[in-house]
Amino acid sequence: MARRGSGLVRLLVTLLLLLLATLLTAAAAEVELDIVPAAPAQNASEADAEAAPAQNAFEAEAEAAQQQHQQPPPHLLPRPLIIELPSKAAARAAGADEVPADAVVASLDVDVELELVPAAVPPQNDVSEEEEAVAAAAATAVVEQQQQQHVLPRQLAVELPSPSAAAAARGGDTDKESPDDVPADVRCSSWRLAAEANNLAPWKTVPAECAAHVRDYVTGVAYRSDQDLVARESAAYARAAAPLAGDGRDAWVFDVDETLLSNLPYYAEHGYGLELFDHHKFDRWVERGEARAIPSSLKLYNEVRELGFKTFLLTGRSEGHQVVTAENLKKQGFHDWDKLILRAAGDREKTATIYKSEKRKEMEEEGYRIIGNSGDQWSDLLGSSMSARSFKLPNPMYYIP
């Protein structure tokens, strides 16, 4: 009985080992083993006789299974990462928006890094080196084609024509044309702008070639439009700087000729500045008292008065014309000024700049603050004791230093 018991124990242990080995082998190497269970023992002697060869067979199979389990499974290389860029036609067919060229070029520069684990068993080469070279060349050609489809545009180059080319286009003689050759009206417009900006040297008459240009300007809508613009800007400033203290010391200075009153009828008879200025002829015109009000200046004058400014009229006319000047102003709608200042005998030899600077200084010495100043000549505005802000009206007909 003892021998039979020990034989059964060995058989059970062998079966357990065989079962365990089978499970390990199936999990690691996916190897399936067909295990035939032993038939039940009929008697003790037969069991002992059949147990010995069965035990040896099972132990051999278990040992083979363990050896196969100890062998490492073959390592497979990862599949290559393939990035395929869509063509323009494919993108449009898919309904996608066209990608900017710089974005496409940037997408071609993506670097993909793969960490490859060397295989225990080297894989078999399915392609030859020649086929690999052909595939690499084809991939390079595809990338180059993609880049050529998204070439950035060339820089825009604008070439200005030279004066000689412009003259040739007009049919002129390129040898006689100068770089400054421009139409007369353009030159005269530039001259008038320079005169208004005080960029010219002291001048006495309008250039002969610009007489028609000046005439058309002062008799047309451009002159009135420029006057209106100056008046609007002056009024806006006056409203912003209106007196708040209530001490009656804020003042506004106005010139008279070509600022409040227009002398265009006189200058129409004398070429609109083409002739040299003649004091005697102009004095006779002043004595007629027929100068007309500049509408926008009259409106500005009345608004400045209503805002509470003291109004000082400072003119280059002589004191002998004080009465006729006052009557002309009143007849044109200018009333209630605080002072009308004209040239005295001692001021005749002074330039307009010095004369008017001295008169403004006298106003300041009397305690007035000169907030604004309007005039058609730079000599009305520059010098000493200048106003807080000055406004120049256009006048291309004459220049007074």
pLDDT at 138: 72
Residues in the chain, pLDDT under 50: 31-54, 69, 72-78, 80-81, 83, 85, 88-91, 93-94, 96-97, 99, 101, 103-124, 179
258: which residues sit within 8 A by CB, 6+ positions away?
Answer: 294, 376, 393, 395, 397
Confidence at residue 202, expressed as pLDDT on a 0 to 100 scale:
94
Q: What is the pLDDT of residue 75?
A: 46
pLDDT of residue 167: 59
CB 333 within 8 A of CB 293: yes
pLDDT at 51: 46
Q: Residue 276 has what pLDDT?
A: 95
Would you say 190 and 370 are in contact if contact means Cβ atoms under 8 Å apart?
A: no
Q: Distance between CA atoms of 182 and 187, rounded to whole angstroms?
A: 7
Q: Is 169 helix (H, G, I), strand (E, B) or coil?
A: helix
Task: For residue 349, count other CB atoms closer than 10 A to its CB.
Answer: 8
Domains and CATH numbers, the chain: 2-62 (no CATH), 185-392 (3.40.50.1000)
Instruction: Supply 155's token pair.
Output: 């820089």
- pLDDT confidence of residue 370: 98
Global pTM?
A: 0.58
Instruction: Quote the pLDDT of residue 241.
Output: 95
> For 371-392, how does the pLDDT look when each residue is reduced to its tens digit (9 = 90+)?
999 999 999 999 999 999 999 9
Dihedral-angle region of residue 351 (phi above 0 means left; psi in -120 to 50 means alpha; beta otherwise): beta
Buried/exposed code over 96-109 (b: 16+ C-beta within 10 A; e: otherwise): eeeeeeeebeeeee
Q: Closest by alpha carbon to 373, among 262, 286, 261, 250?
A: 250
